[in-house]
Amino acid sequence: MVYKIGISEIDLEAPPGTSILLSGDLFSGKDVFSRQFVVEGLNTGEACIIISTNEAVEKILDDLGNAELQNLSIIDCISSRFGATVELPFSDQIRYVESPVDLSMMMVATNEFLELYSRHKNIKNVRIVLDSLSTLLMYSDLRTIFRFLHVLTTRVKAVGGVCLIVMEEGAHDEIEEKALQQLTQAIIKMIEGKIQIKGFKNTQFDYEIQDGQIVVGGLDNTKKSL
């Protein structure tokens, strides 16, 4: 069992238990990358859990377009549950956390969804997207975030899932970046029109964003497994 990353032109795959750090600046298209990562999972029958500290549920659903949503769960850390207007046919899909400071409730909600999919829906393949790590570091110190990520990534390993952790390029110092990289098995950087992948295998390729999708140019290395 492996997880396809979601870029159709290349066959990048991540083994179960993998946590991936995705970084790029505001205009890099990392949001497009993470969306394609989620859509790939949803459309192949996998479960996806999005922990969002940047976008409300409405925006996330709009971005996902016509993807299959029955196995999607969202942990919304910026919208008040009392002001929520989203109505979904699946009442267990959304949890609201009062603020990005409440890391304990984020983990409680994540574990609840993992339990839902593994025990009640019998879905073994689960993707988690944390968007974004940079926002969490605005509210809590590095040590606190490191402990939270350690718990999250350990849980990912235990269930054989895959986790994509999104980070803003250039927003953190070298100490923060190196500390957080210790908890991941691969690093994907989107910078200056190139996607650079380091981890189990190294590869780099040119890309551009066309019609809301990542379009790949030349591969610098034909090794395609993470």
CATH for 16-210 (3.30.200.20, 3.40.50.300, 3.40.50.1370, 3.40.50.150) = 3.40.50.300
Please report the beta strands in 87-202, taking only residues with DSSP state E, as ranges in sequence order. 94-96, 126-131, 162-168, 186-191, 194-198
- DSSP 3-state of 138: helix
Domain boundaries, the chain: 16-210
Element (H, E) at 134: helix 133-139
What tokens appear for 200 in the block? 């189990």
pLDDT digits 0-9 by tens, 139-173: 999 999 999 999 999 999 999 999 999 999 878 88
Judged against a pLDDT cut of 90, whether residue 200 lies above it is answered with no
Using CA atoms, how far apart are residues 27 and 160, in angstroms rounded to an integer? Answer: 32
- What is the pLDDT averaged over residues 45-69? 92
Judged against a pLDDT cut of 80, whether residue 190 lies above it is answered with yes
